[in-house]
Chains A and B, each alone.
Chain A
Amino acid sequence: MAERADTAAEKALLRLEDVTVRFRDGQAPALDAVDLSVAPQEVVCVLGPSGSGKSTLLRVVAGLQAADTGRVFLEGRDQSGVPTHRRGVGLMFQDHQLFPQRDVGGNVAFGLRMHGVPRAEQDRTVTELLDLVGLPGARRRAVAALSGGEQQRVALARALAPRPRLLMLDEPLGQLDRGLRERLVVELRRVFGELGTTVLAVTHDQGEAFALADRVVIMREGRIAQSGTPLEVWQRPATEFVARFLGFDNVVAATVRGGSADTPWGKVPVPEGTPEGACRLLVRPAGVRITTATEGLPCTVTARTFRGTHVTLHLRPADGPQLEAACALREAPEEGETVGVTFLAGEVVVLER
């Protein structure tokens, strides 16, 4: 078992071991003993609120920020003492940082020139990449004349051009409008798939992370709170922090006893095999069923938000904290109505403390 773990670690394209970064003595570290590995061709998205250390993580991997302790391995080789320009990684900055004095072509070709790629090949790669990011013929344009979305594409093409073994993206779609973001997420996945790129992205936007990533890593105050596929994380948030960060607010203290839990909302069924004892409990909005006022926990509807595919209800129960429920449009009660609530065991998650 230990042997297999070793080979998996060796195969990892990027591995961080116990990396700690402290900007000022006496303050909480920006990164606190972080262990993380990324397999070749994997797309990993680090998700966390601002100030959780995401960007610092990328800067440490790029060698722009030295780690106080711990090590960074790329393809199994320790990167301590390897300067940024020899690490062979790409980084797309949050605000692009295109070179203002060069045109689009000059920006995209920059990394190729640094690596001594012959002129003809530079030209070919630049043309290919500009096609790939959907900006054919933009070569001679000044970067100042580009829109935000176009700048983002140029920044992506520039980062991809030297064929980095690891591409890192800092809030890749941060400043774009919604339609463009959704289109670009699809395009990015296609591009990464076509090129077989290994990607480490950071974002504070869960939609972006879930759409982009094979694996999501959630960070909190410099530590990794949870790691898993988007589906795993979405279905089984590990802690109350993760649950709340993902937008789940139906979290209460509970005591599990004999197949159900005692909560301020009354008895809530729990999945089979849940260990007994005190815990925190999450009920996903989809697990809050609206019934008639005579059945289950009586609640008043305080707000009703139309979400397109469903309606989100805010419910004030007679006892316990406010509840959020998702229900189909045609079944949704009006504001101010009194309804009854029951819970579905399949949508209940017991959280780690």
Chain B
Amino acid sequence: MDQAVVLARPEVTGRTRQARGAATRLALMALPLAFFALFFAYPVVAIVGRGLKDGGQWQLGRAGEVLSDPDVLHVLWFTVWQAAASTGLTLLIALPGAYVFARFEFPGKKLLRSVVAVPFVLPTVVVGSAFLALVGRGGVLDGLWGVRLDTSVWAILLAHVFFNYAVVVRTVAGLWSQLDPRQEEAARVLGASRWQAWRRVTLPALAPAVAAAALMVFLFTFTSFGVVQILGGPKFSTLEVEIYRQTADFLDLPTAAVLTLLQFAAVLALLAVHAWTVRRREATLTLVDPARTARRPRGAGQWALLWCTLVVITLLLVVPLAVLVERSFAGPDGYGLTFYRALQSAASMDSTFAVAPLNALWNSLAYGAAATLIALVVGGLAAAALTRRGGRLVRGFDALLMLPLGVSAVTVGFGFLITLDKPPLDLRSSWWLVPLAQALVGVPFVVRTMLPVLRAVDERLREAAAVLGASPWRVWREVDLPLVRRALLIAAGFAFAVSLGEFGATVFIARPDNPTLPVAVARLLGRAGELNYGQAMALSTILMVVCAGALLTLERVRTDQAGEF
């Protein structure tokens, strides 16, 4: 009874049709496969090979040495458990939020939806600093009640929830808002309690989305870099932080390579588990217009839930952002625009900045737009190829698309530098190098967001269109696209946001005279002095405003379009 709405589908056994389907799928997969081979597999394999090879010989003994090191085992253990704890905590806090966003209609909902997404796109270093300013020594809580969390793991966990709240809310609420409430009503009429109806009908239907969100959160926290580096101090370190230290601080490429492989293996295992659970839970759902499922809260319980969610969002998401903004205005002579003015000129900066820091804004926007475009094309093609259930090959492809999220961004960035520097692929001086790297992390978002919705489209709607004379391409455009337009826009928003916030790889490949916002922020934070710190806060505030603006526009586009059908 776990799968409430599974519709049996006769399997196609006709040879020609099967062959045609496979050919179409391969054609759709060709571009994504080429993209991943060239801009992901090749750089990563090259840098791991460089680390593990000495004079043309594989040095595998090194791996054993590194893996039996108690310090490394300690790092591995911490990486796993903090990721699990962060994921659990995020789900616990964000699932009620997803319900509120999916089912309730209240004033300011759109604004709030955008606010929730803002933390996700902030550079990790900025979030680290914001939390330090909130819960660290001399922070707001320290000043008020003498509470400090920067020496405990709670600061890291809270920062992770701060980051990933939007992942759960957006992924789960997107599907939840389109689930027909009558399914639950049917269960209630059959004698299920409110909780049982949710547990037996809604939860199984949501499972793919929840699993996808949980997987993303786990991957992000498992490979967490900036947050842990700033809030973890010497005590806590994840694999990714360790890889960065070995690469950048000690230039110990062999150890970094082993750790990269270790992280890679862990991520592979994780994805295998994920693919297995998804396969067990796939179901065809009846989707309805979200406008019909949301309504004003009724009764004390629902109002309480709404208010609880608002309080959680305020405390967890808004307060750290507010502290950030406050710091950006808190100049040496009281509140003012000192730091913002300083951003406009290159002169006030260190010699490493050839241009005014504000230029980073335009760079980031252009890179982000290009990366979004690439991610939508590559991810859209991949999602279309994966829509029809297929054999082992397809499932392998599905998992492959998630790998960039699990592989060390530091490794990818460094790999870009050492591989894409010779003809015919000499991209060192190409403007496209940065968007390509950023798109790599955007594609998994596009696929993850679109696939559950695409798969939930009733196959017979497509058949109805085909019988009426629509070619496969028209079917996609006329049936799938309108139904997934929301998902597509959400995917675009995510891709744009992660591109803007991408730091680990971009820091290696962005040219000094063309920094992105996060890179510029990190550079400013890396320098001493109140002016630099203040400018970093100001630049972060600008990044935050840009992201919030972009997301708000997206919400508006969405409502306007909804009036069309």
Across the interface, which residues of B come within 8 angstroms of A101, CB to CB? 289, 482-483, 565
Contact A64 B468 (CB under 8 A): no
Enumerate A9-51 residues with CB–CB distance to B below 8 Å: 21-24, 30
Stretch at the interface among B105-113, B422-430, B456-464: B456-464
Would A97 and B483 be within 8 Å (CB), given that A84-B466, A85-B471, A114-B474 are in contact? no
**From A66, A89, A115, A144, contact of B289 by CB (8 A):** A144
Across the interface, which residues of A come within 8 angstroms of B482, CB to CB? 99, 101-102
Say whether A184 faces chain B, with CB atoms less than 8 Å apart: no
Contact B14 A65 (CB under 8 A): yes
Contact B467 A65 (CB under 8 A): no
Q: Which of A23, A68, A101 has the most CB of B within 10 A?
A: A101
**From A67, A83, A103, A111, contact of B468 by CB (8 A):** A111
**From A23, A80, A86, A87, contact of B13 by CB (8 A):** A23
Say whether A62 faces chain B, with CB atoms less than 8 Å apart: yes
**From A66, A89, A102, A111, contact of B12 by CB (8 A):** A66
Say whether A317 faces chain B, with CB atoms less than 8 Å apart: no
Would A90 and B467 be within 8 Å (CB), given that A56-B10, A114-B474 are in contact? yes
Enumerate A89-114 residues with CB–CB distance to B below 8 Å: 89-91, 93, 95, 97, 99-103, 106, 110-111, 114
Q: Which of B10, B460, B464, B483 has the most CB of A within 10 A?
A: B464
Say whether B298 faces chain A, with CB atoms less than 8 Å apart: no
CA distance A114 to B483 in the complex (A): 18
CA distance A89 to B479 in the complex (A): 19
CA distance A24 to B10 in the complex (A): 9
Say whether B15 faces chain A, with CB atoms less than 8 Å apart: yes
Q: Which of B18, B287, B478, B482 has the most CB of A within 10 A?
A: B478
CA distance A56 to B14 in the complex (A): 13
Across the interface, which residues of B come within 8 angstroms of A86, CB to CB? 469
CA distance A84 to B467 in the complex (A): 6
Contact A85 B12 (CB under 8 A): no
CA distance A110 to B11 in the complex (A): 28
Say whether A162 faces chain B, with CB atoms less than 8 Å apart: yes
CA distance A63 to B472 in the complex (A): 13
Contact B469 A65 (CB under 8 A): no
Say whether B17 faces chain A, with CB atoms less than 8 Å apart: yes
Contact A66 B10 (CB under 8 A): no
CA distance A148 to B384 in the complex (A): 32
CA distance A21 to B10 in the complex (A): 11
Contact B17 A99 (CB under 8 A): no
Say whether B470 faces chain A, with CB atoms less than 8 Å apart: yes
**From A64, A81, A100, A158, contact of B16 by CB (8 A):** A81
Enumerate B444-487 residues with CB–CB distance to A below 8 Å: 458, 460-461, 463-472, 474-475, 478-479, 482-483
Would A99 and B479 be within 8 Å (CB), given that A22-B13, A23-B13, A85-B469 are in contact? yes
Across the interface, which residues of B come within 8 angstroms of A65, CB to CB? 10, 12, 14
Contact A97 B458 (CB under 8 A): yes
CA distance A102 to B478 in the complex (A): 10
CA distance A264 to B466 in the complex (A): 56
Minimum CB–CB distance from A58 to chain B (whole Å) comes to 10
Question: Looking across the interface, which residue of chain A has its beta carbon closest to that of B468?
Answer: A111
Q: Mark B161-193, 1 if CB is under 8 A from A, else 0.
A: 000000000000000000000000000000000
Contact B13 A91 (CB under 8 A): no
**From B12, B14, B461, B472, contact of A99 by CB (8 A):** B461
Would A158 and B468 be within 8 Å (CB), given that A110-B478, A114-B474 are in contact? yes
Would A114 and B468 be within 8 Å (CB), given that A64-B463, A84-B463 are in contact? yes
Contact A114 B11 (CB under 8 A): no
CA distance A102 to B460 in the complex (A): 16
Say whether B74 faces chain A, with CB atoms less than 8 Å apart: no
Would A102 and B468 be within 8 Å (CB), given that A23-B11, A65-B10 are in contact? no
Question: Looking across the interface, which residue of chain A has its beta carbon closest to that of B292?
Answer: A144
Contact A64 B465 (CB under 8 A): no
Q: Which of B461, B468, B472 has the most CB of A within 10 A?
A: B468
The 6 A-B pairs with the shortest beta carbon distances in the complex, nearest first, are: A66-B14, A111-B468, A114-B469, A84-B466, A66-B17, A101-B565
Supplied contacts A83-B466, A100-B288, 15 more A-B pairs, CB within 8 Å: A22-B13, A23-B10, A23-B13, A64-B467, A66-B18, A80-B16, A85-B472, A85-B475, A93-B464, A97-B460, A97-B463, A99-B482, A101-B565, A114-B470, A114-B474
Chain B residues with CB under 8 Å of chain A are 10-18, 287-289, 292, 458, 460-461, 463-472, 474-475, 478-479, 482-483, 565
- In the assembled complex, 25 residue pairs joining A and B whose CB atoms fall closer than 8 Å, in A order, are A23-B10, A23-B11, A62-B463, A64-B463, A64-B466, A66-B12, A81-B16, A83-B472, A84-B466, A85-B468, A91-B467, A93-B464, A97-B458, A97-B460, A99-B465, A100-B287, A101-B482, A101-B483, A102-B482, A110-B468, A111-B468, A111-B469, A114-B474, A115-B469, A161-B468
